[in-house]
Amino acid sequence: MNSPESVAVAKQSSALGHYIDGAVVPANGRHADVFDPATGQVARQVAMADAAVLEQALEAAQAAFPAWRDTPPQKRAHILFRFKQLLEENADRICALITAEHGKVLDDARGELGRGIEVVEYACGISELLKGEHSKNAGPGIDSWSELQPLGIVAGITPFNFPAMVPMWMFPLAIACGNCFLLKPSERDPSAAMLIAQLFREAGLPGGVFNVVNGDREVVELILDEPRIAAVSFVGSTAIAETIYRRGSAAGKRVQALGGAKNHAVIMPDADLDIAANALMGAAYGSCGERCMAISVAVCVEDQTADQLVAKLKSRINELKIGPGTDVSNDMGPLISRDALARVRSYLEQGVEQGASLVCDGRELKIPGHEEGFFLGACLFDDVTEQMTVYQEEIFGPVLCVVRVPDLESAMDLIDRHQYGNGTCVFTRDGETARFFSDAIQVGMVGVNVALPVPIASQSFGGWKRSLFGDLYAYGPDGVRFYTRRKTITQRWPSSGRRERAQFSFPSGQGS
């Protein structure tokens, strides 16, 4: 959230506004600062929606819904195909906005956008995905079928760390299913979502089907209590995910709320340690550790494994190139905000105080010309134990903790005891270990020699334990289920001319 100082009343509306009913709505009223994390300077302001703005978006969505619901799925798919093409043609513009406001390196922004486009590609198959199930002759002259109908107006509330991809986990599929969508992006990097909404409109999407309402907690709370919104998809930190889930469910909505993570990689003694070290570098420090699937704990089985892995990681950390995301030769950009920098630094202090060995300390990093940027060097803790705060809590920064355990069983028990269960992986050459680990571990997404096992668009994304509140995962088949409700129709046409007498027993298929 923005600090109170950064939220002020806009005297004139130069701030980024909202996107409602197929047009930009200028900012009016409260606004917040959006920073360039590489310089630490305010780059622009963004409007903070109030009840009147939300009402405008809801009225637009309500007006658009009946025609959109009745638009044949293949026609919706035509628009999605054009949208995908426009996303590809405008990829440089979108990625420039991501890097300018989030700070991640441009190549990483391209990867994020690519993953979002894959969900659009999946949604292009909506005619196939919405096919119902048919039972002919469910009874004499009776046919029965199930169909998937849209919910109406659905909302998405998204975090700062994937300003294009996470919204695209939600709205392409929701809209393909026939719903109207209201997106509340992160107030820290809202510009990519605004451009994407305009591209969708350019692709032929009717006004009011996709609306972007910028804002903070105030509008989120209005969304949760709003009876015209049938479902809410949320991605963000766990405390807020849990609140959103409880409040939205209490208001009678369908809610899926994806929360935080602490993802462990288990390194077995038989693993190829060069492969593991390279994979861990990307998974721990890519995007400055600000990924919900980032590996933040390396659980090394046997001391010798840990000693060798730490040596390999140290030499790779020394070679890491850190700087502004606009320079594609950099591996890692800045953190999102001054608050995030202070929070991660405070975790580093706690780790040292509680006895972990800080073998790589990124706190002294200075980037010439970017002294005010929110940069922090890659940090590596060894000898981390289960009770330490740096182990228990999600740091969401470039900090990797090494925990030493004697065997696979201890590694798996440790992971299973953790409050989060988003992603995990094992590095091994042994198939039996890999199979046992992936079968038994209490985590939602598992990699075998794959450090970031983010499911592809035709699967679904979600964690276990306190990483997800709700029953259905994001995108893929679960996304279709989340954004539709099943209706089952049983129909008789007396085509044989047969007329039946009144029947008072309960109809069943039993008997002659």
Strand partners, 484: 150
Residue identified by tokens 């330490």 is: 388
Q: Contact residues for ligand NAD (CB under 6 A)?
A: 1, 157-162, 166, 184, 186-187, 216-217, 220, 235-237, 240, 258-261, 292, 394, 396, 422, 463, 467
| 3-state DSSP helix/strand/coil % of the chain, to nearest 5 | 40, 25, 35
Closest distance to ligand NAD from the beta carbon of 275 (Å): 26
DSSP state of 458: T
Residue nearest ligand NAD (C-beta atom)? 236
Active site residue 300: no
Q: Residue 16: CB partners within 8 Å, gap ≥ 6? A: 27, 34, 44, 45, 46, 47, 190, 191, 194, 214
Burial of 383 (0-12, 13-18, 19+ CB in 10 A): middle
Instruction: Say which residue the tokens 């909302």 belong to.
Output: 155
Whole-number minimum distance, CB 165 to ligand NAD, in Å? 9
Sheet with strand 133-139: strands edge to edge: 133-139, 142-150, 484-492
* Residue number, 178 or 423, with CB nearest to ligand NAD: 423
Q: Which is nearer to ligand NAD, 58 or 166 (CB)?
A: 166
How many angstroms separate the CA atoms of 54 and 31, rounded? 15
Nearer to ligand NAD, 186 or 424 (CB): 186
Strand boundaries in 117-209, DSSP class E: 133-139, 142-150, 153-157, 180-184
| DSSP letter, residue 217 | H
Q: Name the phi and psi angles at 22, rounded to 5.
A: 75, 20
Selected catalytic residue, list 95, 124, 292, 360 = 292
Helix (H/G/I), strand (E/B), else coil: 190: coil
HSE of 97, CA atoms in CB hemisphere, 13 A: 20
Give the nearer residue to ligand NAD in terms of CB position, either 69 or 343: 343
Provide, rounded to whole angstroms, the least separation between the CB of residue 361 and ligand NAD: 24
Q: Tell me if 167 sits within 8 A of 156, measured CB to CB.
A: yes
- Nearest approach, Cβ of residue 298 and ligand NAD (Å): 18
Measure the CA–CA gap between 190 and 208, rounded to whole angstroms.
19
In whole angstroms, how close is the CB of 368 to ligand NAD at the nearest point?
29
Among residues 108 and 216, whose Cβ is nearest to ligand NAD? 216
State in Å, rounded, how far the first CA of the chain is from the last one: 67
- If the CB atoms of residues 240 and 441 are measured against ligand NAD, the closer one turns out to be 240
Nearer to ligand NAD, 76 or 188 (CB): 188
Min dist CB 367 to ligand NAD, Å, is 23
Distances (CA, A) of 465 to 11, 161, 460: 45, 21, 16
Rounded least distance, CB 451 to ligand NAD, Å: 16
The residue (of 34 and 258) whose beta carbon lies closer to ligand NAD is: 258
**Cβ density class 217-243: b for 16+ within 10 Å, e for less:** eebbebbbebeebbbbbbbbebebbeb
How near is the Cβ of 224 to ligand NAD at its closest, in Å?
8
Enzyme catalytic residues? 292
